[in-house]
A and B are shown apart, each in its own frame.
Chain A
Amino acid sequence: AQSVTQPDIHITVSEGASLELRCNYSYGATPYLFWYVQSPGQGLQLLLKYFSGDTLVQGIKGFEAEFKRSQSSFNLRKPSVHWSDAAEYFCAVGARNAGNMLTFGGGTRLMVKP
């Protein structure tokens, strides 16, 4: 069964600073990988996803993520954080050829200092 670990529960960065949120997954083959963002009291908005091909994936709001098979990682990055990026970020993995269930990590809460 697949699993996802987000090692950082909370991260605080200054506005304008770069950001990297870590995600490690466990799955026997190449998974589908997703990053979602959740603002307080809101639903899950898809930032980006990796299915195949180029391992560097561009998403919305200036985010990107890189799939590294050797490290079983799919870290999310943004070169310059804005105050509106403060939210909770979830990494998720989906198995191929085994139904469409997503397995989520525990989330990373991002706080942005002015």
Chain B
Amino acid sequence: EPEVTQTPSHQVTQMGQEVILRCVPISNHLYFYWYRQILGQKVEFLVSFYNNEISEKSEIFDDQFSVERPDGSNFTLKIRSTKLEDSAMYFCASSEALRGDYYGYTFGSGTRLTVV
């Protein structure tokens, strides 16, 4: 079964440093997403990406965050200057269908980011 692959599985970074989380979505999928889950809290939507641009973003996704699809396979989330409160599990997801549909919506196994 096709998978969404995230690397690394764990990352520790110092406050103020830039971090890039990487994801390889399922190859025929069109929509890409990032979610995060702070320890003990609910999973929260960050951003969706379609046709090489952001289609939606939440209030959490401020200027410190950016996303990119640098080539045909990778989808990255960059945090420019990490803060302690950015510590969370970050999930990448992708879906195959067009806007307003959820077929094939698949999550990766997550990257646990710890900011110290």
Chain A contact residues, majority secondary structure:
loop
- B contact residues, range: 20 to 34
Decide: A101 and B42 in contact? CB cutoff 8 A.
no
Least Cβ–Cβ distance between A52 and chain B, in angstroms: 11
* A34 CA to B109 CA, complexed, in Å: 17
CB contact list, A53-109 vs B, under 8 A: 90, 92, 94-107
Interface contact tally, CB-CB below 8 A:
65
Asked whether A100 and B44 contact (CB < 8 A) given A32-B102, A43-B107, the answer is no
What 0/1 pattern do residues 1 to 24 of B give for CB contact below 8 A with A? Answer: 000000000000000000000000
A9 to B55 alpha-carbon distance, docked (Å): 33
Least Cβ–Cβ distance between B107 and chain A, in angstroms: 4
A96 nearest CB across to chain B (Å): 6
Q: How distant is A57 from chain B, measured CB to nearest CB, in Å? A: 14
Considering the complex, which residues of chain B in the window 40-91 have a beta carbon less than 8 Å from any beta carbon of chain A? 41-45, 48, 55-56, 91
Which 10 pairs from chain A and chain B are nearest by CB? A43-B109, A97-B100, A104-B43, A44-B107, A106-B42, A101-B45, A99-B56, A43-B110, A104-B42, A100-B31
